[in-house]
Amino acid sequence: MDLMEYKARDLYKQYSVPCNSSVMLENLDNLAADTATLEFPLVIKAQVPVGGRGKAGGIKFAENAAELAEKSAAILGMDIKGHTVNRLLVAEKAEVTREFYLSIMLDRLTKCPMIIFSTAGGMDIEDVARETPEKIIKLTIDPLVGVQLYTARYLTSKSGLDDSLTKPLFAVLTNLYNLFIGSDCMLTEVNPLAVTPDGRLLAIDGKVSVDDSALYRHPDLIAYRDAQVEDELILRAREFDFLYIPCEPDGNIAVMSNGSGMIMSCIDLITKADMSVGAALDLGGGATAERIKEAVRIVLSNPQIEALFINIFGGITRCDEVAGGVKAALENMDLKKLIIFRAEGTNKQQGLDIINSIESDIITVDGIRAGVKALAERGMAK
């Protein structure tokens, strides 16, 4: 899970990673009071889960209160790459003499945290790696040792920096590493890490990505994640450990399966047949009939969905469990929607027997292509 900048800054403050003062705003009702602790000039940043905010007009500077009000109003509510700006980060504009890039990420090759450091801060690290790779230093951290003073000294020496930056860099590295470990991160990135005229280091911008599998250990991050969701069906699906994925806004077909590969195959073939998928739901593994019942009800509660294609490969998730869940879901529903059911694997025939006993508009098929054909024949094309 990627955190927006304002939440990354909350973690920076929690772990004493130095950053310039800032506040997060969800409205402008009390703008003067909410920003009273900040000193001009200020930078106003749109908070959206995508990059390229600056080029899209989502970052502006304010020299006084009038400019702050005007430019905040211009950014709040704007659309950036399909995301509506519902939050702003207002931060003090730092005086900077130099910018670095610093991150700690999980290196899958060594199975250890890795430091990436560059004196070419403020730029996309991918561009630096392509154009001037000699400016990037990578250093693996031994988890049994952690960050040591010699770690920072190696980075400053290798980069040709003055030794006066070694101790400030060591302090930032230590706290950033504590954040990486303490919050179960896959990535903690500071870009730029700014040098101030008095020699301090400040995190001017930040990106934090947390391991989804570890979220159960961080209730505050779960609350943050759920607060970003505007689609109620996503939250309802999470209650049962399902992944509900909104797709095309005008799509009238839903796909339900037990695996992302199966879902993508269905979506690809449906789209090629000039039909549109409005939503998908990944059951994961080992779903019981009771949970399948809830999954079907969640998907069919979407009023724009006219057809549901259920595509199951029975392994841990048995075909008869899925069929039983489908039957239970439909028992008390006034269903006027088409269901296509395809199953292969464990207890396939038992599952088909259950499906065939349901008195609803359900078509059983032997494969994905047959299911797509059935959807087209029932008038689901655009």
By the 8 A CB rule, do 259 and 366 touch?
A: no
CA distances from 350 to 210, 291, 314, 316, 345 (A): 41, 18, 12, 15, 11
- The pLDDT of 347-353, averaged and rounded, is 91
pLDDT confidence of residue 66: 95
| Residue 82 or 240, more confident | 240
pLDDT at 130 over 90: no
CATH of 98-217 among 3.40.50.2000, 3.30.830.10, 3.30.470.20, 1.10.1040.10:
3.30.470.20
**What pLDDT is attached to residue 229?**
62
* Average pLDDT of the residues in 118-138: 81
What pLDDT, in 10s, does the model give residues 30-45? 999 999 999 999 999 9
Residues marked as catalytic: 101, 189
- Give me the pLDDT at residue 146, please: 95
> How far is CA 18 from each of CA 24, 40, 205, rounded to the nearest angstrom?
17, 19, 11
Q: Same CATH fold, 98-217 and 21-92?
A: no
Ramachandran bin of 345, using left for φ above 0, alpha for ψ from -120 to 50, beta for the remaining angles: left
Spatial distance between the Cα atoms of 352 and 339, rounded to a whole number of angstroms: 13
The side-by-side arrangement of strands in the sheet containing 338-345 is: 243-246, 277-282, 253-257, 307-314, 338-345, 362-365
Fold of the domain spanning 232-377: Rossmann fold (3.40.50)
Instruction: Give the pTM.
Output: 0.74
Cα–Cα–Cα angle for 76, 79, 85, rounded to 5 degrees: 35
**Both tokens assigned to 69:** 């009000």
Name the pLDDT band for 382 (thresholds 50, 70, 90).
low
Domain locations in the chain as residue ranges: 21-92, 98-217, 232-377
Q: Residues 133-141: what's their mean pLDDT?
A: 90
**Helix, strand, or coil here: 52?**
coil
- 295-342 confidence digits (pLDDT tens): 999 999 999 999 999 998 877 778 888 899 999 988 877 777 899 999
The β-bridge partners of 138 are 116
- pLDDT tens digits, one per residue of 333-346: 777 789 999 999 88
Supply 304's token pair: 């724009």
Task: Kindly tell me if the per-residue pLDDT of 226 is higher than 90.
Answer: no
Following CA atoms 29, 33, 36, 40 in sequence, which dihedral angle do they give, to the nearest 10 degrees? 30
Least confident residue range of 121-135, 198-212, 357-371: 121-135
- What pLDDT is attached to residue 132? 79
Q: Is 261 helix (H, G, I), strand (E, B) or coil?
A: helix
Alpha-helix residue ranges (DSSP H) falling in 91-245: 125-131, 149-159, 166-182, 219-228, 232-238
Closest CA to 269 of 240, 235, 309: 309
Residue 225: its pLDDT value, please?
Answer: 82
Q: What is the mean pLDDT of residues 127-141?
A: 85
The encoded tokens of residue 53 equal 């905010």
Stretch 127-144: mean pLDDT, rounded? Answer: 87
How confident is the model at residue 83, as a pLDDT? 83
Q: Which fold has domain 21-92?
A: Dna Ligase; domain 1 (3.30.1490)
> Looking at residue 135, what is its pLDDT?
84
Give residue 1's pLDDT. Answer: 87
For residues 164-187, average pLDDT: 96
Percent of all residues in the chain with a pLDDT value above 70, rounded to a whole number: 98
Output the six-digit token pair for 6. 């304002």
Average pLDDT along the chain: 91
**What's residue 10's pLDDT?**
94
pLDDT of residue 126 exceeding 90: no
Beta bridge partners of 312: 343
Cα separation, 124 vs 128, in Å, equals 7
Q: Are 355 and 326 in contact (CB under 8 A)?
A: yes
Q: What is the mean pLDDT of residues 186-204?
A: 94
**Contact 185/208 with Cβ under 8 angstroms?**
yes
